[in-house]
């Protein structure tokens, strides 16, 4: 046994706890004297004390105590009932303090339950305090957080172990009653000391984590959909090809657009140039009209000129007119004096010479009338000569004007013709037609530009779409790769969990088998030590593997005989061939020769089992690295009851070997037998 893992109980103090009002029980043990005996008559509180160890450490359900259901609380029943009936009662504390030493450190665990009356009902609240002595001997400030206290305690004495080392009368009885109760009790005890629960816990967690991984894998698979990485890679290549094609198309479109732009610019320049030409054309047309008009004017003025010439007035010469006038100077009657002229003068108020028309003048003129010839040739000739002269001047002027106009029109025509010749030089081609052609071409180019723009937009759209999808596909591929990697990791994790599970199952199975063998070995030794009948042995049978346990005693000689018979008959060989282990075959043989037990024998069986369990739990199994081994104290109630003779003697003699510290409760009667 490892001495460094020894745990020892020093004392337990009570205040108002159940049947203990104020009490301190010290357990002073030495290596030679490791038993603390608590004696008392039935009902004095021995079992209460046993359970108080559980209550102070982890709390205890008093309802589980047989025939104690009427006081299912920690407080002293008298105080509790007083609290129930007295409306003015104050709150009452009950507490238990346990001192124990573990690995050289002394601990103080105190559990206080304060009871109070609240709304006509008794309620309570619990307070825990755990402290320990430090190297300087001083006691630490108690830890009062329940969770922390439980955690600290569990490192020293786990609840499961506490239950495994506390044997009350009920549990002892249960061990030996063949039935569900005993099976359950043994199973629980075995389970506690063989780490079965630990392996169950491990298996459960492995299953749980495995389930989570499975769910995660399902989620990833769902997320990934049905598209494989290969398909995505193929799609990416296609999309990249599409994008390249679109780039080429766009390049072509841009080139064409540049061409169209250049063409349009060219056309614009041409059109701009042609606009000037068009203006010239318009001017030309105007000039042509002007030319027509000028020609017409020229013709008219020419006609007038020639008409003047043909009228002959232009033929009257100055010599002719002079000769006529010279001839007339030789005539006595002044030219121009005619009857009509005199008559006209007579009608006037004044004479043509300016004198007033008096009677003398009138008379003179009247007389003249009578002297004048009826026709005055001279006057006529003069008149005609003057007329010719005047006409000559007028015709001359007209001819001058006509010539001038004709000349002017001729010049204008010449000028227009010159201008037209100049315009004609500029307008070699038909301007309008060219403009129309160019306009048509311009329109075509614009249409082409529009189409190119549409193509460009479509190309960009397709390219954007392809790029977007490419991005998505790449992300999907990356995610798919990530998923694949994740799935690979998850699969590896599942494989590892599978391996862990297999190991746990195998270890659990082997541990159970080894534990059973080990416990049976300790059981057999304990039985030999305690039982009066050396011809018998005991075996902890396990039916249906780990599910049911049963303590069975048998006569060794009967077992040996049966084994020989089975060996001879070949049955043992058959069982081995069927794959049964040695322990299973042994169990079969034991069950064949199992026998009933007397009450005293049953008690020995229970004690042997308790010792086997303690020996097993105190066994140094450091090799398994779980460090489950620990030398705990043994608390047992009424171990001597129902024992007699050699059995009682043996138990009394060897009970000190059960553990390093034994707290033993016994009544007077049973102990008197031991004392004797």
Partner 1 sequence: MTPKNMNQNPIEDVLEELHFTKAQKEGFWKFLNYAKTCQETGNNKQLKSQLEEVVRDVVEKE
Q: Rounded CA gap, 108 and 570, in Å?
A: 62
Under 8 Å between Cβ of 569 and 589:
no
Distance linking the first and last C-alpha atoms of the chain? 32
Residue 150 CB, shortest distance to partner 1, in Å, is: 7
Q: Rounded CA gap, 486 and 220, in Å?
A: 8
Considering the complex, state which of residue 269 and residue 503 has its C-beta at the smaller distance from partner 1: 503
Q: Rounded CA gap, 231 and 223, in Å?
A: 16
Q: Rounded CA gap, 63 and 61, in Å?
A: 5
Considering the complex, state which of residue 83 and residue 149 has its C-beta at the smaller distance from partner 1: 149
Q: Rounded CA gap, 406 and 178, in Å?
A: 163
Residue 96 CB, shortest distance to partner 1, in Å, is: 21
Q: Which of 114, 111, 81, 117 is nearest to 98 (CA)?
A: 111
Under 8 Å between Cβ of 109 and 129:
yes
Q: What is the 3-state secondary structure (H, E, C) of 452-500?
A: HHHHHHHHHHHHHHHHHHHHHHHHHHHHHHHHHHHHHHHHHHHHHHHHH
Q: What share of the chain is helix, strand, coil (3-state, %, to 5)?
A: 65, 15, 20
Considering the complex, state which of residue 375 and residue 521 has its C-beta at the smaller distance from partner 1: 521
Mention every residue, 6+ apart, whose C-beta is less than 8 A from residue 538: 523, 524, 527, 531, 551, 552, 553, 554, 605, 608, 609
Considering the complex, state which of residue 16 and residue 537 has its C-beta at the smaller distance from partner 1: 537
Under 8 Å between Cβ of 24 and 96:
no
Residue 640, SS3?
coil
Residue 202 CB, shortest distance to partner 1, in Å, is: 5
Considering the complex, state which of residue 148 and residue 269 has its C-beta at the smaller distance from partner 1: 148
Residue 616, SS3?
helix
Residue 145 CB, shortest distance to partner 1, in Å, is: 13
Helix (H) or strand (E) holding 549: strand 548-555
Residue 639 CB, shortest distance to partner 1, in Å, is: 25
Considering the complex, state which of residue 44 and residue 494 has its C-beta at the smaller distance from partner 1: 494
Considering the complex, state which of residue 196 and residue 281 has its C-beta at the smaller distance from partner 1: 196
Strand runs (DSSP E) across 18-149, as ranges?
20-26, 35-39, 92-102, 105-118, 121-132
Residue 518 CB, shortest distance to partner 1, in Å, is: 3
Q: Rounded CA gap, 380 and 327, in Å?
A: 12
Residue 484 CB, shortest distance to partner 1, in Å, is: 15
Whole-angstrom CA distances from 202 to 187, 197, 494, 509, 617 are 19, 8, 15, 14, 20
Under 8 Å between Cβ of 35 and 112:
no
Instruction: Kindly report the number of other CB atoms within 10 A of residue 19's CB atom.
Output: 16
Binding site for partner 1 (CB under 8 A): 147, 150-151, 154-155, 158-160, 195, 197-198, 201-202, 205-206, 208-209, 212, 489, 492-493, 496-497, 499-500, 502-503, 506-507, 510-511, 514, 517-518, 521-522, 619, 621, 623-628
Residue 238 CB, shortest distance to partner 1, in Å, is: 36
Residue 35 CB, shortest distance to partner 1, in Å, is: 26
Residue 231 CB, shortest distance to partner 1, in Å, is: 28
Considering the complex, state which of residue 134 and residue 624 has its C-beta at the smaller distance from partner 1: 624
Considering the complex, state which of residue 522 and residue 640 has its C-beta at the smaller distance from partner 1: 522
Residue 474 CB, shortest distance to partner 1, in Å, is: 27
Considering the complex, state which of residue 249 and residue 494 has its C-beta at the smaller distance from partner 1: 494
Maximum separation of any 2 CA atoms in the chain, in Å: 229
Residue 123 CB, shortest distance to partner 1, in Å, is: 25
Under 8 Å between Cβ of 249 and 457:
no
> Any idea what the Cα angle at residue 658 is, between residues 63 and 638, rounded to 5°?
45
Residue 209 CB, shortest distance to partner 1, in Å, is: 5
Considering the complex, state which of residue 38 and residue 198 has its C-beta at the smaller distance from partner 1: 198
Considering the complex, state which of residue 377 and residue 496 has its C-beta at the smaller distance from partner 1: 496
Considering the complex, state which of residue 11 and residue 60 has its C-beta at the smaller distance from partner 1: 60
Residue 503 CB, shortest distance to partner 1, in Å, is: 5
Considering the complex, state which of residue 337 and residue 580 has its C-beta at the smaller distance from partner 1: 580
Work out whether strand 634-637 and strand 662-666 pair parallel, antiparallel, or are unpaired.
parallel
């Amino acid at each position: 046994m490892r001495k460094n893992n020894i745990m020892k109980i020093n004392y337990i103090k009570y205040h108002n706890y159940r049947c203990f009002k104020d009490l301190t029980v010290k357990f002073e043990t030495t290596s030679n004297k490791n038993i603390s005996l608590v004696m008392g008559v039935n009902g004095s509180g021995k079992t209460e004390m046993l359970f108080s160890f559980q209550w102070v450490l982890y709390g205890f359900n008093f309802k589980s105590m047989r025939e104690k259901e009427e006081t299912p609380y920690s407080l002293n029943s008298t105080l509790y009932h007083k609290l129930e009936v007295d409306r003015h009662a104050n709150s009452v504390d009950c507490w238990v303090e346990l001192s124990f030493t573990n690995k050289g450190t002394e601990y103080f665990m105190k559990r206080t339950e304060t009871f109070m009356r609240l709304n006509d009902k008794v309620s309570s609240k619990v307070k825990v305090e755990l402290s320990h002595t430090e190297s300087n001997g001083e006691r630490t400030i108690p830890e009062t957080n329940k969770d922390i206290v439980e955690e600290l305690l569990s490192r020293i004495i786990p609840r499961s172990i506490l239950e495994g080392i506390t044997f009350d009368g009920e549990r002892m009885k249960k061990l030996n009653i063949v039935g569900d109760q005993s099976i359950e009790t043994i199973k629980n005890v075995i389970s506690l000391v063989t780490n079965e629960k630990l392996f169950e816990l491990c298996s459960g967690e492995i299953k749980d984590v495995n389930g989570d991984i499975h769910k995660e894998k399902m989620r990833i698979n769902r997320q990934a959909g049905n598209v494989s990485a290969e398909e995505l890679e193929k799609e990416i290549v296609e999309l990249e090809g599409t994008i390249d094609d679109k780039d080429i198309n766009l390049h072509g479109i841009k080139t064409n657009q540049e061409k169209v732009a250049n063409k349009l610019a060219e056309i614009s320049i041409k059109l701009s140039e042609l606009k000037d030409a068009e203006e010239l054309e318009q001017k030309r047309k105007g000039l042509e009209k002007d030319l027509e008009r000028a020609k017409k004017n020229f013709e008219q003025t020419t006609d007038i000129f020639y008409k003047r010439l043909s009228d002959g007035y232009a033929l009257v010469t100055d010599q002719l007119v002079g000769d006529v006038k010279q001839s007339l100077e030789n005539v006595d009657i002044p030219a121009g004096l005619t009857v009509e002229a005199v008559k006209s003068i007579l009608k006037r108020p004044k004479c043509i010479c300016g004198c007033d028309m008096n009677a003398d003048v009138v008379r003179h003129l009247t007389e003249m009338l009578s002297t004048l010839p009826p026709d005055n040739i001279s006057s006529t000739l003069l008149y005609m000569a003057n007329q010719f002269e005047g006409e000559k001047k007028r015709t001359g002027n007209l001819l001058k004007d006509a010539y001038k106009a004709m000349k002017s029109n001729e010049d204008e025509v010449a000028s227009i013709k010159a201008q037209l010749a100049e315009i004609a030089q500029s307008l070699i081609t038909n301007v309008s037609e060219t403009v129309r052609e160019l306009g048509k071409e311009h329109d075509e180019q614009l249409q082409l530009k529009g189409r190119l723009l549409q193509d460009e937009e479509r190309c960009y759209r397709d390219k954007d779409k392809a790029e977007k999808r490419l991005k998505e596909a790449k992300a999907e591929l990356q995610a798919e790769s990530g998923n694949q990697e994740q799935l690979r990791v998850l699969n590896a994790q599942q494989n590892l969990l599978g391996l862990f599970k297999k190991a746990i199952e195998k270890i659990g199975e082997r541990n159970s088998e080894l534990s059973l063998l080990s416990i049976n070995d300790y059981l057999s030794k304990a039985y030999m030590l305690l039982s009066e009948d050396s011809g018998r042995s005991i075996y902890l049978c396990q039916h249906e593997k780990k599910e049911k346990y049963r303590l069975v005693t048998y006569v060794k000689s009967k077992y040996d005989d049966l084994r020989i018979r089975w060996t001879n008959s070949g049955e043992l060989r058959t069982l081995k061939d069927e794959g049964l282990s040695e322990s299973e075959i042994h169990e079969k043989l034991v069950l064949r020769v199992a026998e009933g037990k007397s009450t005293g024998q049953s008690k020995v069986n229970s004690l042997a089992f308790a010792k086997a369990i303690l020996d097993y739990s105190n066994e140094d199994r450091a090799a398994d690295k779980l460090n489950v081994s620990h030398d705990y104290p043994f608390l047992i109630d009424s171990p001597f009851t129902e024992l007699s003779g050699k059995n009682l003697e043996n138990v009394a003699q060897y009970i000190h070997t059960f553990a390093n510290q034994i707290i033993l409760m016994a009544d007077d009667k049973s102990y008197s037998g031991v004392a004797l």
